[in-house]
Amino acid sequence: MADLAPLLEAKDKRFEPNLGRRFHSNINRRFYTNSVRKPCWILRPLSLRRCVLAITVLCILSIIYFSHYTFNSPLTSLIHRNTRPEPNIKCSIMNGPRLPQNHDHKTEARLRSDPKVLVFVETMYSKLGREIAELLVYTRIKYKVEVSGKSLPVLTNLDKGRYGVIVFENFNKYLQMDNWNRELLDKYCREYMVGVIGFINPSEETLIGAQLKGFPLFIYTNLKLKDAALNAASQILRLARAGETAWGTLPGEDWTIFKANHSTYEPLEWAHRDNNYQTDEMKMPLPTIVQDHGLFDNIQRVIFGSGLKFWLHRLLFLDSLSYLSHGQLSLSLDRLLLVDVDDIFVGEVGTRLRPDDVKALLATQERIQNMIGGFKFNLGFSGKYFHHGNNDEDKGDDLILENIDKFMWFSHMWNHQQPHLYDNLTQLTEDMLLNKNFAKEKGIPVDSGYSVSPHHSGVYPVHDILYTAWKKVWNIRVTSTEEYPHLRPARLRRGFIHRNIMVLPRQTCGLFTHTMLIEKYPGGREKLDESIQGGELFQTIVYNPINIFMTHMSNYGNDRLALYTFESVIKFLQCWTNIRLKTAPPLQLAETYFKHFPEETDPVWGNPCDDLRHQKIWSRNKSCDSLPRFLVIGPQKTGTTALYTFLSIHPAIASNLPSPDTFEEIQFFNANNYYRGLDWYMNFFPTDPNSTNRYFFEKSATYFDGDLVPKRAHALLPHAKLVTILISPAKRAYSWYQHTKAHGDVIANNYSFHQVITANDTAPKPLRDLRNRCLNPGKYSQHLERWLSYFPPQQMHIIDGEALKSDPMEVMNEMQKFLKIVPLFNYTSHLRFDPKKGFYCQIISGDHTKCLGRSKGRHYPPMEERSLKFLQRYYLSHNTALVKLLKRIGMRNIPQWLKDDLTDTPG
């Protein structure tokens, strides 16, 4: 700075006088001119107050003029509306002939193994392992995860292989397996023609020409690469399409490349060194994925030199699964696409569609139709807001209606109101009729059978009167939602059917941001393009056979980013994949979807209370307090009714209202009642602001052994506590038989207990059904394991049924502690043993007792000795597993009946 000071000082001395002379001469010239031309009163000195007032008025006028000019002038329209990005996908092969890469990969070998993937991971938490598992979940491919280094799982089932492809997160774990397991695995792969996929994991050590153990293949590690391309001659390519180059630096600096010394190896992907100083040799393409044709040891493999961070590797991984499984794990190449444009007439002035926006919409649609035959944007409308813009925007509305037949149409609400705010079916129906009458007046089709609720409400969480009104007014047969389940990423969502209306998963394009935001945040455009070119949006379409995208009107007018996004991603898909993009009306989409995924027809009701967004779009008359906080899950004939009675005595606990069909049990999670929906279930738990009985519970003894019950219960009540009662399974089976016999069951009255429990699989179906109801619930460990796969042990309380019968006061005290109910209710003064009944009853009216009905506490003839011995042998393995399970979950006192059953088991 000291060296610069003389120069700066000289600069000041040199320029300041000249500037001053010019400034003063200009002032004098202007003053002279004005004094000649204007009256002299202009020269009068102004007061400070007048100056401030004049400046203030001038500022206000400037702001008003600027605001008007900014938001209404044609120039502003050009600034905000004509600076949108144009699709920039450059693809030389898009319009050229397609290479013959569309292999179906099917061979006779596919019949020898199951379509399932065995994945070996380093740990259950390793990153690449999770990414592999997630990709298999997204594409609905069955898989099993094992930690490397342990014993191999069972690989065969009779004469068939259990797995079609073996995947190693770290290929070195495969190379370093002990000889016994390696020989066993290789023998399995050869015998059943099962292939192996491996990933070379990054390491701190840089290897140069290191040989892979036992193979004529050499690797170079920790490289930075760029410009990837595919081998067009590879038989693996199916989803992925060769011919283009993914220009630019590839993600990561830990890539591995391969150099082979055997004809068995063929490159699948190449890339180049990302280095400005390269020799001619370094400019050669470098294999980053190699295919082993099995010529060396009769096992086919695909080895990746990097993980799944690079989007192209995800396609190649799926293609490798398809190829190595002989077509069993192939994804269909067909993709159906529907783009909804919500709120076509709804929007603030200045954000709605103008004529040039409508023309751009039509022009883009026409270009997309050249790539997807018959494609049409699907416009959702609320008639009340037609012609609610400025003059230019109203012309845009008119232009849309002039082109009605060029679009598909679906209904919103007339006033764009959220349906969950309607508690009255009549009002909801009237609102829909207004929109339907508007559609008929304007010539908009009303027979699409498809509708979507504004703000996503009424679809999920389900608002039942909406479904009723939809059917009544519009004959709706299909809708879509982004909320079920409320999962991220979007490709994890699924559909369901409720009240004969098919609900499809919907992908919301949260990628669209206003152009000004892209300008404000430099990464905005790059993030959008990243999603299009191999990222989230691209992968969503690749992994889902049917895609419904929800977009908003403002993304077609205010910034037109929707047009840019969809045209770009379609071009990119055509450039890099063999996917066949198609379109269809919503009803046809729904039928195709549930044909693909019939298992999704059953809904899984989630808990709106666990999601703030769900709570906001839940009906106003719903309350989180109207859900039970614990479940008594059974099994039957173990004392659940007695427990229900004891719980009902408690002043802080309330049970559900009785069911007209099943009495105190709702039987929601394991029966057809589940399809009646969440509203039906919650009506059994009415909330009373004046009541303190808010600790709701439900008892349904059939829940215990229901296959779907744990999954359903956890989806709706993930924090609920579970209570189950266990007695000797032999005793429980006999009690159930006597129960059905007392109720007049024909089979029970015509067959002895021994005949029932020993019936074989060729017996008549009614007899087999009774046998199963006697025997299956007693496989306690099997059913508890299913529950514990969804609920942690801390949420489960296991009661010894014999202790409940002999000392219910102590059992109920322990249960109150488990439920954390304070203060403890004193059951001693409310229960008394009844010698006639043989169990404890409730004390009422001073010294009287109220016991369970005559059907409870019956005295049965003793079980035959041969039946007892048969059941002890039958349940031996199950009881042994139960002891291990109880110890594992921390139950200190093993029930005496369980010890006795194991001790008395005949040899």
> Which pairing describes strands 848-850 and 839-844: parallel, antiparallel, or unpaired?
antiparallel
Q: Is 637 a catalytic residue?
A: yes
Q: Do the annotations mark residue 858 as ligand-binding?
A: yes
Residue 124 phi/psi, 5-degree rounding, is: -70, -5
Q: Considering the candidates 637, 699, 721, 731, report the single residue annotated as catalytic.
A: 637
Find, among 653, 652, 649, the residue nearest to 844 by Cα. 649
Tell me, what DSSP letter sits at residue 676? G
CA distances from 728 to 238, 348, 514, 633, 635 (A): 57, 70, 67, 17, 12
Cis ω before 686 (30° cut-off from 0)? no
Residue with tokens 């690469």: 225
With beta carbons less than 8 A apart as the criterion, state whether 525 and 518 touch.
Answer: yes
Q: How far apart are the first and last CA of the chain?
A: 101
857 is in an annotated binding site: yes
CA geometry: angle 52, 53, 59, nearest 5 deg: 90
| Residue 840 is labelled as binding a ligand | yes
Report the residue count for the chain: 907
Task: Tell me if 735 is assigned to a ligand binding site.
Answer: yes
> Smallest Cα–Cα separation from 242: which of 575, 645, 695?
575
What is the rounded distance in angstroms from the CA atom of residue 126 to the CA atom of residue 597?
Answer: 30
Please give the distance of CA 411 from its chain centroid, rounded to a whole number: 26
Q: What angle do CA 584, 588, 589 make, to 5 degrees?
A: 70
**What does 706-730 look like in DSSP terms, one character per residue?**
-SSHHHHHHHH-TT-EEEEEE--HH
**Per the annotation, does 856 bind a ligand?**
yes
| Residues 219, 207 contacting (CB under 8 angstroms) | yes
**Cβ-based burial of 872 (10 A; exposed 0-12, middle 13-18, buried ≥19):** buried
DSSP code string of 409-451 = EEE--TT---GGG---HHHHHHHHHHHHHHHHHHT------EE
DSSP state of 473: I
Q: Which residues are annotated as a binding site?
A: 735, 840, 856-860
Q: Which residues are annotated as a binding site for 3'-phosphoadenylyl sulfate?
A: 735, 840, 856-860
Instruction: Please identify every residue annotated as catalytic.
Output: 637
